[in-house]
Amino acid sequence: MISSIAELIADRIGTMPAGERRAAQTLVASYPMIGLKTVAEFSAAAGVSSPTILRFVSRLGFQNYPEFQSSLQDELAAQLQSPATRTLIAPSPGGGTAPPMLEATLDNMRETFKHLSDRQLADIAGRLADRRGKTFLIGGRFTDPLARYMAAHLAVIQSDVFHLAGQESMWRDRLIDMGKRDVLVIFDIRRYQESLARFAEKAHQRGVQIVLFTDQWLSPIARFARHVIAGRTAVPSAWDSSAALFVVAETLIGAVTRQLEAEGARRIREMEDLR
């Protein structure tokens, strides 16, 4: 049963030539607003010519463009009248691979934040925003990208942010630069990496404040950590999900940014100038 134009597009996008597919993607990307504008605007947004747009709506089964627009408007009207219908993500029963995966991920996030108090987040953000020391970030085999992501953002708003990459010997030697005013952010989920644990222990001995992102079973590093963020990772997949930790990371980035607003704004402006 196809009830919306969006579904219609999803159903037929596979059979469309490149140009029309771009039209379809553009429409879906900001659905349905672009479809309400003129053919010229639509074609410009999609980067194709007007006739391609018309062929596109024709392939969807409409006689002409106005008829297509009317259909979109009717759909919109129905949607607006019953806000309840906006039950995002149609609980499509047949559901392929995506829905259960997404549902599990959303649940993970809710659970993760449920066990994470505002105060704890504020504490950590405060620690990261405290500019008397340096910030080091490192992750495991699959979580290192999260460390990179966080480092990329933090480095924009403050100095002395370092992502520890490369071979173990490389970052192990950076220990001498670390002291009790510094913060070490570690990402470590199953299967926990010994090398990280060794590193964390040594850093801890030097008085470094450790912020640990781990899963709900807690990496052994937790015993050395000052702050532990335990994210849910279970999803119906062969892999664990780091999405919840990713969102916590983004939240922290946002909080730190807010705290460093004044200084951060100046830094960003300077950076822009340097380009």
1 within 8 A of 8, measured Cβ to Cβ? no
* Spatial strand order in the sheet of 209-215: 161-163, 135-139, 183-187, 209-215, 227-231
Query: Residue from 2, 3, 10, 17 that binds DNA (CB under 7 A)?
Result: 17
Binding residues among 188-207 for DNA as defined by CB under 7 A: 207
The one of its own copies, DNA, none whose footprint includes residue 205, by CB under 5 to 8 A per kind, is: none
Query: Residue from 3, 64, 73, 205 that binds its own copies (CB under 8 A)?
Result: 73
- Cβ of residue 207: shortest distance to its own copies, in angstroms? 12
Peptide bond into 141 cis (omega under 30): no
140 within 8 A of 243, measured Cβ to Cβ? no
Query: Residue from 20, 182, 215, 240 that binds DNA (CB under 7 A)?
Result: 20
Contacting range for its own copies; rule: CB under 8 A; set: 127-135, 177-185, 195-203, 225-233: 225-233
> What single DSSP character describes residue 133?
S
For its own copies, the closer of residues 77 and 176 by Cβ is 77
The one of DNA, its own copies, none whose footprint includes residue 142, by CB under 5 to 8 A per kind, is: its own copies
Q: How far apart are the first and last CA of the chain?
A: 53
Specify which residues 64 forms β-bridges with: none
Six token digits for residue 187: 């990402």
Which positions ≥6 away from 212 have C-beta within 8 Å?
Answer: 185, 186, 188, 200, 219, 221, 222, 225, 227, 228, 229
Q: Does 85 bind its own copies (CB under 8 A)?
A: no
The one of DNA, its own copies, none whose footprint includes residue 109, by CB under 5 to 8 A per kind, is: its own copies
Specify which residues 136 forms β-bridges with: 162, 184
Q: Does 109 bind DNA (CB under 7 A)?
A: no
Maximum separation of any 2 CA atoms in the chain, in Å: 74
Query: Residue from 152, 159, 170, 198 that binds its own copies (CB under 8 A)?
Result: 152
Binding residues among 203-242 for DNA as defined by CB under 7 A: 207
Q: Does 13 bind DNA (CB under 7 A)?
A: no
The one of DNA, its own copies, none whose footprint includes residue 197, by CB under 5 to 8 A per kind, is: none
Q: Does 50 bind DNA (CB under 7 A)?
A: yes
Q: What residue ranges bind DNA (CB under 7 A)?
A: 17-20, 38-40, 48-52, 54-55, 57, 63-66, 207
